[in-house]
Structure 1
Amino acid sequence: MSAETWTWIGIGVAVLFALVGAYLVVSSREEGRHASSSRPARDSFRQGEDAPPPRKRVAVVVNPTKFDDLDAVRATLARVCAEHDWADPLVLETTPHDVGFGQTRSALEQGVDLVCALGGDGTVRAVAQEMVGSGVPLGLLPGGTGNLLARNLEMPVDDLERALVVALTGRNRHIDAGWLTLDPDHLELEEGAGEGSTAGERRHAFFVMAGLGLDAAIMDSTSEQLKSRIGWGAYVPAGLRNMLTDRFKVTLTTDGGPPETKRARMVVIGNCGKITGGIDLLPDAEPDDGTLDVIVLAPRGVAAWASVAARVVTKSDRTTGNLSRYRCQTAHVEVDEPQRVQVDGDIVGEATRLAVEVQPRVLVVRTENGRSNGS
Structure 2
Amino acid sequence: MTGLEAILLAGVLLLLVVLGVVLARRRSTTDSGRRPGRGRRPHRNEFRPDGAPERATPPKRAAVIVNPTKFGDLEAVRRRVTDGCLAQGWGEPMWFETTAADPGTGQARQAVSDGAVLVCALGGDGTARAVAAALVGTETPLGLLPGGTANLLARNLDLPVDSIERALLIALTGQNKRVDVGRLTVDRSGQHQYPEEHIFLVMAGLGFDAAIMAGAPESLKSRVGSAAYVVSGLRNLAGPGFKVRVTFDAEMEFSRRTRTVVIGNCGRLLGGLVLMPQARVDDGALDTILLSPRGVVGWSAVAGRVLTRQHKGHAMIDHHAGQEISVRADRAEEVQIDGDTIGTARAIAATVDHLALVVRVAHTT
TM-score by length of 2: 0.90
Shift in alpha-carbon separation, 1:149–1:15, aligned structure 2, 3 A: same
What CA deviation, in whole Å up to 9, does each residue of 1:122-147 have, x standing for no partner? Answer: 11110112211121000000111111
Shift in alpha-carbon separation, 1:26–1:245, aligned structure 2, 3 A: same
Q: Which segment drifts farther, 317-326 or 124-133?
A: 317-326
Q: Shift in Å at residue 54 of structure 1?
A: 2.3
Shift in alpha-carbon separation, 1:186–1:56, aligned structure 2, 3 A: farther
**Number of aligned residues:** 359
Shift in alpha-carbon separation, 1:186–1:297, aligned structure 2, 3 A: closer
Shift in alpha-carbon separation, 1:42–1:133, aligned structure 2, 3 A: closer
Shift in alpha-carbon separation, 1:349–1:4, aligned structure 2, 3 A: farther
Equivalent of residue 129 in structure 2, options 122, 125, 128: 125
RMSD after superposition: 2.7
Q: Which segment drifts farther, 137-146 or 74-83?
A: 74-83
Contact map agreement 2:188 2:346 (CA 8 A) in 1: no
Partner of 2:22: 23
Equivalent of residue 276 in structure 2, options 271, 275, 282: 282
The runs of 5 or more residues in structure 2 that have no matched partner are none
1:35 aligns with 2:29: no
Contact map agreement 2:188 2:332 (CA 8 A) in 1: no
Q: Shift in Å at residue 287 of structure 1?
A: 0.3
Contact map agreement 1:173 1:370 (CA 8 A) in 2: no
Contact map agreement 2:190 2:328 (CA 8 A) in 1: no
1:240 aligns with 2:239: no
Equivalent of residue 172 in structure 2, options 168, 173, 185: 168
Partner of 1:195: none
SS at match of 2:319: strand
Contact map agreement 1:153 1:370 (CA 8 A) in 2: no
SS at match of 1:35: coil
Shift in alpha-carbon separation, 1:223–1:24, aligned structure 2, 3 A: same
Note the 1:7-22 alignment, pairs <5 A.
Answer: 12-13=11-12, 15-22=14-21
Contact map agreement 1:149 1:208 (CA 8 A) in 2: yes
What CA deviation, in whole Å up to 9, does each residue of 1:293-325 have, x standing for no partner? Answer: 100000001221111111111111313221110
Contact map agreement 1:319 1:325 (CA 8 A) in 2: no
1:82 aligns with 2:81: no
TM-score by length of 1: 0.88
Q: Shift in Å at residue 34 of structure 1?
A: 5.7
1:293 aligns with 2:295: no
1:263 aligns with 2:257: yes
The runs of 5 or more residues in structure 1 that have no matched partner are 191-198
- Residue type of the alignment partner of 1:41: H
Q: Shift in Å at residue 15 of structure 1?
A: 3.8
Distance 2:138 2:312 in 1: 39
Partner of 1:323: 317
Partner of 2:362: 368
Distance 1:3 1:247 in 2: 132
Equivalent of residue 100 in structure 1, options 85, 104, 107: 104
What CA deviation, in whole Å up to 9, does each residue of 1:17-73 have, x standing for no partner? Answer: 431231243356578896348x44353489899543221111100011111111111
Q: Shift in Å at residue 189 of structure 1?
A: 5.5
Q: Shift in Å at residue 236 of structure 1?
A: 0.7
Distance 1:165 1:261 in 2: 48
